[in-house]
Amino acid sequence: MCWSATADLVAGGAVGAVGVACVVRAARTRPRALLLAALPLLLGAHQLIEALVWHRGGGTGAATLAWAVIALPVLPLWVPVGVLLVAPAPARGRLLFPLACGVVTAAVLAYALATTTVTAEIRGHTMGYAIGLPHAAWLIAGYLPATIGSLLLSGERGLLLLGGLVAVGAAGCAALWRWEFVSTWCACAALCSVVLYGWLRGQPRRAGASVSR
């Protein structure tokens, strides 16, 4: 949630660029991290989609639905699967819980989106989305372990830092959203993307990989 179409465009482009660098780095060093490395690309696309929602003044339509699909069923499944693929063997058992939370939460949210209409509304400096989710508290209880919990349980120092930043950013954005102030989500997404790239930079190259000069 950025505070204008222009802000979303700039932030989405910047986060997407970091995502390209992450994917290139993962392809060279750790192919199993490609799904996680592509997360900034997904977040960048998400903000570019919201720029279109801003431009149209909110309402319903394909852009609004696409925003909700990425934010709701996609992320709680994408993150724990990506983390599980890169986690060291001792951590994989404990990651089954956030993965299960993600599968169940994504299924419920996908069904909700398929059976309801998502509406976007400009509220001061933020964009609000009305989805009418049933049992929202229970869904949040599944969403947070899947997205944040999986990072904190990953057993990877860089991903643990990323999980902490996401947790702080989510709390900050939630507080700002309550009072409809300018959201910090754009800055949070950009910062988390840079941290993810830093983690990938620390991964050793694959044996036999070429080194450009």
Is residue 213 in a domain? no
35-39, 98-102, 194-198, 206-210: least confidently modelled range = 206-210
Residues in the chain: 213
Helix (H) or strand (E) holding 104: helix 96-115
Crossing angle (nearest 10°) for helices 185-201 and 157-178: 180
State mean pLDDT over 71-89: 94
Please check the confidence at residue 17 and state whether its pLDDT lies above 60.
Answer: yes
The least confident of 110-114, 125-129, 166-170 is: 125-129
Closest listed residue to residue 162, CA positions, set 198, 200, 201, 195: 195
The verdict on residue 209 lying in a domain is: no
pLDDT above 90: percentage of residues in the chain: 54
The pLDDT score that the predictor gives to residue 129 is: 85
pLDDT at 202 (0 to 100): 81
Residue 208 pLDDT more than 50?
A: no
φ/ψ of residue 19, rounded to 5: -60, -40
| CA gap 99, 103 in Å, rounded | 6
- What token pair was written down for 11? 């932030």
Q: How far apart are CA 50 and CA 135, in angstroms?
A: 25
Where do the DSSP E strands lie in the chain? 119-123, 126-130
**Whether the Cβ atoms of residue 40 and residue 22 lie closer than 8 Å to each other:** yes
pLDDT category at 40 given cuts 50, 70, 90 is very high
Share of the chain above pLDDT 70, in %: 88
Q: What is the pLDDT of residue 170?
A: 79
Confidence bin at 102 (pLDDT 50/70/90): very high
Per-residue model confidence (pLDDT) at position 210:
42
Q: Average pLDDT, stretch 107-132?
A: 87
Q: What is the mean pLDDT of residues 35-41?
A: 95
Q: Domain range spanning residue 63?
A: 5-201
Residues 6+ apart with CB under 8 A from 141: none
Q: With respect to residue 185, please indicate whether it lies within any of the assigned structural domains.
A: yes
Structural domain contains residue 117: yes
Coil vs helix vs strand at 209: coil
Average pLDDT over residues 21-45: 93
Task: Answer whether residue 207 is part of any domain.
Answer: no
- Give the pLDDT confidence score for residue 173 in this predicted structure: 72
Is residue 206 situated within a structural domain?
no
pLDDT, tens digit, for every residue of 145-204? 999 999 999 999 889 999 998 888 878 777 766 554 444 565 677 778 889 999 998 876
What phi and psi values does residue 37 have, to the nearest 5 degrees?
Answer: -65, -30
For residues 181 and 107, which has the higher predicted lDDT (pLDDT)? 107
Residue 11 placed within a domain: yes
Q: How many structural domains compose the chain?
A: 1
**CA contacts within 13 A on the Cβ side of 51:** 16
**Contact between 80 and 150 (Cβ < 8 Å):** yes
Separation between Cα atoms, residue 170 and residue 135, nearest integer Å? 20
CB 112 within 8 A of CB 131: yes
In a domain, 98, yes or no: yes
The residue whose two tokens read 């930079």 is 201
